[in-house]
């Protein structure tokens, strides 16, 4: 009626959504969309999830779709992999990916390799998800980043979201994918609100696995990061912009398969590269990016060696001041950029 009267209707505006709520939306929408999807893990049902990611889902979908498990990662990961082999679509939550090492045989030897070893006759459409990397004050055994660990293994897809849109779009794409996907989230981002576009509010919104996003255009240096360090890179870029240095910030989004083409195109434009990650330096994600750039056509466009910003090469200390010095900070990124640009 308003349209007939010639009134202009405004499109739904972008809204603020936390990463926690974005993940909850994705799970809710995919559980509703496909009856083969189910969620299992420690405290995911009656307790609404250790981080409240699955809040309200058990009451809505019941015991068969949202399943509390014993504290046995090897056991419930094995159940999930077996279910995926018969074309259910399990979402297996690890309370933290540090505990996924209890189930690493199931993830690597059972999930990742089965499609290849069965000559393509057995797919394993499963998602392993949960918080990854350092949280706050949880010490060495709970602070490892598994991006390089799982990114090393053929047969897996590995995604690492930063924003609420990343979280929703990548989780939905991962659930719909016919391959095993490892989704590495950041506990420290769960409560952080991000703007979610009208498009991302759709139930059919997915982000293609294997495609990076340029969060900020720039001309002087390329910053490549994933997960929480993307935010640090944007903060560093804002500071450096006031000094006349324009950084191009790339949100990697996917660790495997890696969108090296987007990074190459940016390096060709800026002639400088800095990688940022929370994981350890040796054999890390940044090391892989640097190697791929060196081996490819973009190497000839570099005006200076690439610089890596990583976590410290030590087990994570418990003391806060030491922990802060083990995790890449904005000041570390600014220092690395100035080093790359020789300023």
Contact at 8 Å (CB) between 151 and 288?
yes
Whether 73 is a known active-site residue: answer: yes
Whether 232 is a known active-site residue: answer: no
**CA–CA separation, 200 and 204 (whole Å):** 8
H helix runs in 164-259, sequence order: 164-176, 229-241
Contacts of residue 316, defined as CB under 8 A and 6 or more positions apart, other chains included, come to: 134, 138, 139, 140, 142, 143, 144, 323, 326
**CA–CA separation, 141 and 248 (whole Å):** 34
Contact at 8 Å (CB) between 36 and 178?
no
Alpha carbon 161 to its chain centroid, in Å, reads 3
Assess whether the previous peptide bond of 257 is cis (omega < 30° from 0): yes
Report the phi/psi class of residue 43: left, alpha or beta, with left for phi > 0 and alpha for psi in -120 to 50: left
H helix runs in the chain, sequence order: 19-33, 57-61, 73-85, 104-105, 114-117, 147-151, 164-176, 229-241, 260-270, 285-295, 320-326, 330-341
Among residues 42, 73, 187, 277, the one annotated as catalytic is: 73
**CA–CA separation, 28 and 55 (whole Å):** 10
- Take residue 220 and report the two structure tokens written for it: 């002087």
Among residues 30, 42, 93, 142, the one annotated as catalytic is: 142
* Among candidate residues 15, 311, 42, the one with its CA nearest the CA of residue 168: 15
Which residues form the catalytic set? 73, 142
């Amino acid at each position: 009626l308003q349209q007939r009267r010639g009134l202009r209707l405004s499109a739904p505006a972008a809204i603020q959504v936390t990463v926690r709520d974005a993940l909850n939306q994705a799970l809710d929408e995919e559980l509703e969309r496909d009856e083969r999807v189910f969620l299992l893990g420690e405290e995911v049902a009656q307790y609404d999830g250790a981080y409240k990611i699955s809040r309200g889902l058990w009451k809505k979908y019941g015991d068969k779709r949202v399943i509390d498990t014993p504290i046995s990662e090897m056991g419930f990961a094995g159940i999930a992999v077996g279910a995926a082999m018969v074309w259910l679509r399990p979402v297996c939550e690890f309370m933290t990916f540090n505990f996924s090492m209890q189930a690493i045989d199931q993830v690597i030897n059972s999930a990742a390799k089965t499609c290849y070893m069965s000559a393509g006759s057995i797919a394993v459409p499963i998602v392993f998800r949960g918080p990854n990397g350092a949280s706050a004050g949880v010490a060495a055994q709970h602070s490892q980043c598994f991006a390089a660990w799982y990114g090393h293994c053929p047969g897996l897809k590995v995604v690492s979201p930063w924003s609420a849109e990343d979280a929703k779009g990548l989780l939905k794409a991962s659930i719909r994918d016919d391959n095993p996907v490892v989704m590495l989230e950041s506990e420290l981002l769960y409560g952080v609100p991000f703007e979610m576009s009208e498009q991302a509010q759709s139930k059919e919104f997915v982000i293609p696995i294997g495609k990076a996003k340029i969060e900020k255009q720039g001309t002087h240096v390329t910053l490549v990061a994933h997960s929480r360090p993307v935010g640090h890179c944007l903060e560093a870029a804002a500071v450096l912009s006031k000094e006349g240095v324009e950084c191009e910030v790339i949100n990697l989004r996917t660790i495997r398969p890696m969108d090296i083409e987007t990074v190459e195109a940016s390096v060709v434009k800026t002639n400088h590269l800095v990688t940022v990650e929370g994981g350890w330096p040796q054999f890390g994600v940044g090391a892989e990016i640097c190697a791929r750039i060196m081996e490819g056509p973009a190497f000839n466009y570099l005006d200076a060696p690439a610089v890596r910003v990583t976590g410290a090469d030590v087990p994570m200390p418990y003391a806060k001041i030491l922990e802060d010095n083990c995790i890449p900070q904005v000041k570390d990124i600014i220092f690395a950029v100035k080093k790359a640009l020789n300023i």
